[in-house]
């Protein structure tokens, strides 16, 4: 890394370009052959029949996070601001406005209602109260946030939701949070973490505080001397997915399960949990299966409609490549097509024309997107849903996933429409909600992101100033 203001020279670049080891490595690298679409199941929207229960409301969940420097006298001191927003979009009201264009922005805002989780987490050199370290403070704040947040005033807390998932976590070799190789605070000869509910004490004679949320293992990646941006991202993804389950459990507790046939739930990103808390993925899968079975008597046997939407990544890039690929059997001369029909021609002449869904198998993913020769199914430990592509009626490219609601859905060696619960309803929803505000975007996800997003430049300055002013008052 350069010093501040130091400019790079060209000599290192010249050495890299001419280095035989670099050239040899590149020459040895495997090149993916042309995309093989013969094993990519493709279906047209007309081939799948939507149910009779068209969603009337969509709940979209998205999050944002940003690390912010704090001046407390210690070098590198940092806080992590995390916000997760959920937006309820009233589709019936939206349809009514659509029939009476032009639409007033004020009237459009009435179609939405938002709720958010906003919090700040200790990072490097931020130690609270009488805690022994910044890492211990982070653990405590995570527990406190989940203990306080709830959807319904008389309902369970987000911690209750989390601890309902904790019962699905298999026993493993997780170590006590105080068994740090550098700090070595744990006095036990076998510093193993024992999962329990709430706040409790470790087994050694020091009786340090432990929290049920320690099972997320977020603290294990904590850096005491540098930024913890990766942890803030993991906290955000945990909150997004916990909030989804929290809403569904809240519906169950309130006796609102009948509403699930007319509600769609959308979260930003795939239906998966990555990193240290990845075990949550399998727990969420089990809880969604349970909730789905509990809801069916009230929804005339209809499955829940839960969607994950990806905005970037390898799958998004690959889908873009497929859309740009032209059908090989097309030899129509462009000069024979009227100018005002060229855009439609290019759209329909794509390998993936509008209103086409691509259902992904394990073989296709490993051959064309994420190279692997493993016999273990792709995403087995981290995903609670399976991916598919859809090109909407307007040409937007959507990379989405639908949940595993029974064992048949999890068999990604094959890809059949009935392995994607409410697939037809999802496709119809995409056609309805595609947004022109951003390429390949959906209106409820755009709204949720707008509620959650922290502006990277202006927002960071505002938060830094706020933190500094609060520290000065102490």
Can you give the pLDDT at residue 345? 42
Q: What is the mean pLDDT of residues 221-226?
A: 90
Can you give the pLDDT at residue 304? 95
Model pLDDT for residues 297-319, shown as the tens digit of each residue: 999 899 999 999 999 999 999 99
The yes-or-no verdict on residue 125 having pLDDT over 70 is yes
The yes-or-no verdict on residue 219 having pLDDT over 80 is yes
Give the SS3 label for residue 263: strand
Q: pLDDT over 70 for what percent of the chain? A: 80
Model pLDDT for residues 388-400, shown as the tens digit of each residue: 999 999 999 999 9
Q: Which residue has the higher pLDDT, 373 or 54?
A: 373
Q: What is the mean pLDDT of residues 339-352?
A: 57
The yes-or-no verdict on residue 90 having pLDDT over 80 is yes
Can you give the pLDDT at residue 5? 61
Q: Which long-range contacts (CB under 8 A, 24 or more apart) does 431-440 make?
A: 431/45, 431/355, 431/392, 431/393, 431/394, 432/91, 433/58, 433/89, 434/392, 434/394, 434/396, 434/398, 439/396, 440/311, 440/396, 440/397, 440/398
How is the chain split into domains, by residue range? 44-120+229-326+345-472
DSSP string, 152-196: STTS-BHHHHHHHHHTTPPP--PBPTT--TTT-----SS-B----
Can you give the pLDDT at residue 179? 79
Confidence band, pLDDT 50/70/90 cuts, at residue 428: very high
Can you give the pLDDT at residue 297? 95
Total-model pTM = 0.86
Q: What is the mean pLDDT of residues 157-164?
A: 97
């Amino acid at each position: 890394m350069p010093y501040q203001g130091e400019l790079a020279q060209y000599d290192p670049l010249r050495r890299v370009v001419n280095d035989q080891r670099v050239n040899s490595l590149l020459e040895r690298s495997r090149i993916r052959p042309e995309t093989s679409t013969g094993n990519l199941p493709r279906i047209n929207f007309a081939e799948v029949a939507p149910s009779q229960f068209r969603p009337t409301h969509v709940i979209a969940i998205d999050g944002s996070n940003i690390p912010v420097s704090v001046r407390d006298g210690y070098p590198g001191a940092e806080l992590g601001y995390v916000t997760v927003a959920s937006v309820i979009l009233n589709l019936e009201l939206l349809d009514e406005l659509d029939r009476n264009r032009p639409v007033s922005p004020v009237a459009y805002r009435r179609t939405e209602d938002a709720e958010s989780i906003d919090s700040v987490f200790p990072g490097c050199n931020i130690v609270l109260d009488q805690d022994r370290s910044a890492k211990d403070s982070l653990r405590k704040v995570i527990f406190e946030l989940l203990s306080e947040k709830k959807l319904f005033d008389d309902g369970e807390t987000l911690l209750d939701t989390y601890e309902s998932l904790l019962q699905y976590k298999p026993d493993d070799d997780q170590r006590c949070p105080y068994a740090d190789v550098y700090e070595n605070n744990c006095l036990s000869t076998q510093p193993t973490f024992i999962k329990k509910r709430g706040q409790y004490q470790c087994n050694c004679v020091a009786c340090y505080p432990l929290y049920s949320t320690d099972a997320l293992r977020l603290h294990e990646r904590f850096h005491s001397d540098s930024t913890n941006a990766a942890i803030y991202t993991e906290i955000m993804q945990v909150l997004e997915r916990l909030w989804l389950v929290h809403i569904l459990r809240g519906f169950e507790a309130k006796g609102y399960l009948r509403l699930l046939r007319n509600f769609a739930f959308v979260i930003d990103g795939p239906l998966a949990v990555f990193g240290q808390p990845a075990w949550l993925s399998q727990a969420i899968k089990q809880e969604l299966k349970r909730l789905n079975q509990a809801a069916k008597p009230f929804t005339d046997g209809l499955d829940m409609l839960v969607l994950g939407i990806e905005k970037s990544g390898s799958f998004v890039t690959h889908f873009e490549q497929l859309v740009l690929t032209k059908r090989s059997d097309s030899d129509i001369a462009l000069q024979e097509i009227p100018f005002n029909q060229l855009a439609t021609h290019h759209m329909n002449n794509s390998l993936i024309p509008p209103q086409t869904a691509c259902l992904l198998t394990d073989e296709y993913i490993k051959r064309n997107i994420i190279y692997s020769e493993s016999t273990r199914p792709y995403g087995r430990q981290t995903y609670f849903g399976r991916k598919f592509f859809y090109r909407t009626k307007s040409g937007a490219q959507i990379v989405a996933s639908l949940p595993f609601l029974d064992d048949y859905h999890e068999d990604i060696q094959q890809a059949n429409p009935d392995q994607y619960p409410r697939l037809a309803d999802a496709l119809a929803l995409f056609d309805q909600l595609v947004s022109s505000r951003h390429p390949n975007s959906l209106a409820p996800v755009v709204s949720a992101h707008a509620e959650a997003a922290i502006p990277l430049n202006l927002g960071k300055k505002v938060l830094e100033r706020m933190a500094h002013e609060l520290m000065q008052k102490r």
